[in-house]
Amino acid sequence: MIDGTWEPCPAARWEDAFLSGNGRHGAMVYGDPADDRVIVNHHTLVRPNGSEDLRPPELADRLGRLQDALLAGDTKAAEDFGSGRPLVWVQPFHPAFQSRVRRTRGLHEAVAGYRREADFTTGEVTASYEAWRSAVFVSRADDVIVQHITDLALTCDLMLDHLLPGAPAQLAVGRSTVLTPEGAQLALRVGYPGGGLGYTGVTLARVDGGRVSVAGEGIRIEGARSLTLTTRVVRGAGRPDPAGLWAALPREDYATLLDRHRPLHREAYGRASLTLRDAAPERERSGGELLRTPRSPALLERLFAAGRYHLLSASGMLPPRLTGLWTGDWDTAWSGAFTTNANLNLQVSSAAAAGLPEVSGAHAALVESQLADWQDNARAIFGARGVVAPSHTDGASGHTRHFQRAYPLHLWTAGADWLLHPLLEHAEVTAGAPDATLTDALVQVALFYEDFLGHEDPDGNLALVPSYSPENRPANASWGTVNATMDIAAARHALTTAAAHAPAHPSAALWRSLAARLPAYAVNEDGALAEWAWPGLRETYDHRHLSHLYPVWPLDEINPYDTPELSSAAHRALELRGSENDSAHGHLHQALIAARLRDPSRVSAALGAVLGGDFFHDSLMSAHYPSRDVYNADAAHTLPAAVIESLVQSSPGRLVLLPAVPAEYPAGELRGVRTRFGAHLDLRWSEDGATAVLRPTRDARVDLRTGDGLTLTETSAGYPTAPLELTAGVDRVLTLEAR
């Protein structure tokens, strides 16, 4: 199987529970016949911790003194700028509760004949043994979690259980149970400690045959043929009578609800696919078995499919958190936040190319909802117009609140450009240019730099000061410095992009002038692209972040075709970069950059570190560290992008085919890629060459490049002396031969 996974036993840990989601609700399914648990999640569930009303402190009146001190050579000047406050994390993401269907008659553990399965094409998770079967999906049509259990003479207890790991003892919990002719209605109301308004979960239980009675904190079902549960969570519903929430739940049978949901999910999931030639012999193995054979092409196939499935399922009202849309524990690492200085962009990095506009839409929703807060950050901290993005957000607030001497994330000014870039890619893939909303946001970023860029270096270039390279520091200086390479790249990209897409703006000419006065990138004594373009700052190579290679990926400002010398320096920087604590996002960030730099061996090594490092749970959701330490979606969601980048890269004026194919995957087919010049692409490759089919949606002139050892045989393309001419609606077949 490619478009799904299975296991021969129930999940013993919530991390191994199979996942379903619709971008609002998430379900984690254990599939245990004796205690059939489904953990219910919702994107809005963040627990108040005192940070929800915090605003950025007024620091702008101190900014000038800090800038002067840093430019004068005081390498520790930024340590007191905004520090001294208690470290406050954003509101932590948490689960709602778990529905539990507990059998009152004794049952087995999993034995021969048991099967637990997730179908990526429909979002349905099933488990079965003998006469018992449980099926769960999260409806895109009705925004509910639906579960259907069948058994002969089903006898069980049903309850909504809030006592998940880490749940605060001071939660205010209220329950309601009402018997109905069709079964029962259950409600669980949860208030946060300190009186904070919480959330309400409501479940409609429909019972086919048998008897239903109130029992303890739930209901008892005796002698039923089947049970259907429909569940919804509402944030802030508080203590009102849940009758209205029950009434709003759909009452059709399971099959009808699934039929309404399935086309919506299937169309989105099915837009892109990966198959590898040598995978067939192992495709039917369970996910757990494949994870024990990390070099298996079938494993990469399945993780590619799972990554797209989980990314789609986690994205809707918001993009994926550090944990996607799921957690079984109230104590989520790093608050289960959206960490924006690397993780979020890495997770959504395949959205445009892999045909998931739903993910780009969710990312846009987060950005657009927080632009006013980003303006507050720019004004309060930097005394500037425009916007500055935070490094962490809970999805509710975009205010900067992470102030520390070490990791001074409040000094990071590149965030808005970095976060808008995936939306710019989406616009290029779909319409060819940003819409008015995105253009306005790009203008806001440029306005920030117009105000912020007021200092010069000794050579007369504009200086980025203060400057911070997430999450690294020079070996001989403190964290807040001058001219971090990522900041230079972001400023140049923001100013030129805004000028290009808002040419009538009164400041457009000024933005182009400011961009031209920014410092050049520096190459250090090791021949590597320096992380700080400021004299005297020494490198710290062993680090998980690769912020200074932003000009390579995703900006494509530095590439082997237009800037070969800088490309070589960037490649040297990649060679020297360590992996620090083996974070999954660091390895896959290396893979993305290596692919842009045409280095298949380094792509292979980065993928191998993740596939062979025990990063994946049986659910095929990933961990942050090796040995499945800290549930985290970075690897799961980023892996499809790393695979695509090794096979196909595009910009508005360029197509690169097979730039960095890992030797372990010599043949296969990638279908449904979207390019940034407006064409859909299917690619088939082998040791003998490749065939690419382009289906343009608009006219384009494209510079075509191929990986080493390949020759284009289609003479009419004029390659390599002339661009490839594409006409909307006219398919183009490109044939490459190995030489």
Q: Residue 712 has what pLDDT? A: 87
- Are the C-beta atoms of residues 589 and 578 closer than 8 Å to each other? no
Question: What's the pLDDT at 110?
Answer: 47
- DSSP annotation of 678: S
Q: What is the 3-state secondary structure (H, E, C) of 118-180?
A: EECCCCEEEEEECCEEEEEEECCCCCCEEEEEEEEEEEEEEEEECCCCCCCCCCEEEEEEEEE
Per-residue pLDDT band at 184 (split at 50, 70, 90): very high
**CATH number for the segment(s) 60-91+298-642:** 1.50.10.10
Q: How does pLDDT run across 632-683, given as a tens digit for each residue?
A: 999 999 999 999 999 999 999 999 999 999 999 999 999 999 999 999 999 9
- Both tokens assigned to 287: 């996910």
Q: Find the helix packing angle between 357-382 and 436-452, rounded to 10°.
A: 30
What average pLDDT does range 526-554 have in this prediction? 97
Going by pLDDT thresholds of 50, 70 and 90, the confidence category of residue 111 is low
Q: Return the closest-CA partner of residue 638 out of 607, 680, 682.
A: 607
- CA dist 353 and 549 (Å) reads 20
Question: What share of the chain has pLDDT > 90, as a percent?
Answer: 91
Reply yes or no on domain 4-46+94-269 having CATH 2.70.98.50.
yes
Q: What is the pLDDT of residues 202-242, one digit of tens each?
A: 999 999 999 999 999 999 999 999 999 999 999 985 556 78
pLDDT, greater one: 195 or 686? 686
21: β partners: 26
Instruction: Report pLDDT digits (tens) over 237-270.
Output: 555 678 999 999 999 999 999 999 999 999 999 9
Report the distance separating Cα 237 and Cα 231, nearest Å. 15
Tens digit of each residue's pLDDT (9 = 90 or more) over 31-79: 999 999 999 999 999 999 988 889 998 999 999 999 999 999 999 999 9
* Alpha carbons 101 and 37: distance in angstroms, whole number: 7
Query: Two tokens at 238?
Result: 């508080």
Mean pLDDT within 609-613: 97
Please compute the mean of the pLDDT values over residues 475-501 and round it to a whole number.
97
Instruction: List the single range of 140-149, 230-239, 307-316, 711-720 with lowest mean pLDDT.
Output: 711-720
Position 106 pLDDT exceeds 70: no
- pLDDT interval class at 722 (50, 70, 90): low
Contact 468, 488 (CB under 8 A): no
Query: Helix 415-430 crosses helix 436-452 at what angle (to 10 degrees)?
Result: 150
Question: Coil, strand, or helix at residue 268?
Answer: helix
The per-residue pLDDT of the chain, averaged, comes to 95
> What is the rounded distance in angstroms from the CA atom of residue 242 to the CA atom of residue 77?
56
DSSP element (H, E) containing 101: strand 97-103
Contacts of 520 (CB under 8 A, 6+ apart): 461, 533
Mean pLDDT of 616-642: 98
Q: Which pLDDT value is given to residue 103?
A: 85
What are the residue boundaries of the structural domains of the chain, listed by start? 4-46+94-269, 60-91+298-642, 668-738
DSSP labels for 301-363? Answer: HHHHHHHHHHHHHH-SSS--BTTBT--S-SS-GGGG-EETTTHHHHHTTTTTTTT-HHHHHHH
One CATH from 2.60.40, 2.30.30, 1.10.287, 3.40.50 for 668-738: 2.60.40
* Three-class secondary structure of residue 670 per DSSP: strand
Q: What integer is the mean pLDDT of 327-334?
A: 97
Q: What pLDDT sits at residue 62?
A: 95
> Span 494-504, mean pLDDT?
98
Q: What angle do CA 112, 113, 115 make, to 5 degrees?
A: 110
Looking at residue 196, its pLDDT comes to 73
Average pLDDT over residues 499-512: 98
Q: What is the pLDDT of residues 294-303, one digit of tens each?
A: 999 999 999 9
Torsion of CA 132, 2, 357, 323, to 10 degrees: 60
Q: Angle 451-556-305 (CA atoms, 0-180°, nearest 5)? A: 115
- Taking the alpha carbons at both ends of the chain, their separation in whole angstroms is 34
Q: Which residues on adjacent β-strands are paired with residue 127?
A: 116, 134
